[in-house]
Amino acid sequence: MSKTILITGSSTGIGRATALYFQKRGWNVAATMRTPSKETELPRLANVICPALDVTSEESIQAAMTATIERFGKIDVLVNNAGYGLTGPFEGTTEEQIKKQFETNVFGLMRVTRLILPHFREQRSGTIINISSMGGRLVFPYYSLYHGTKWAVEGFTESLRFELEPLGIRLKIIEPGAIKTDFYERSRDSSLLSAPREYHELAQIGFKNMDQIGEEGAQPEAVAAMVYKAANDSSLKIRYPIGKGAGALLLLRRFLPDGVFAKIVKQTVFKA
Which residues are marked as active site?
132, 146, 150
* String of DSSP letters for 16-81: HHHHHHHHHTT-EEEE-BS-GGG--SGGGSTTEE--B--TT-HHHHHHHHHHHHHHHS---EEEE-
Give Rg (Cα) of the chain. 19
User: How distant, in Å, are the alpha carbons of 6, 79, 113, 133, 267 from that of 260?
Assistant: 41, 35, 37, 22, 11
Please state the separation of Cα 238 from the chain's center in Å. Answer: 15
Strands 77-80 and 239-242: unpaired
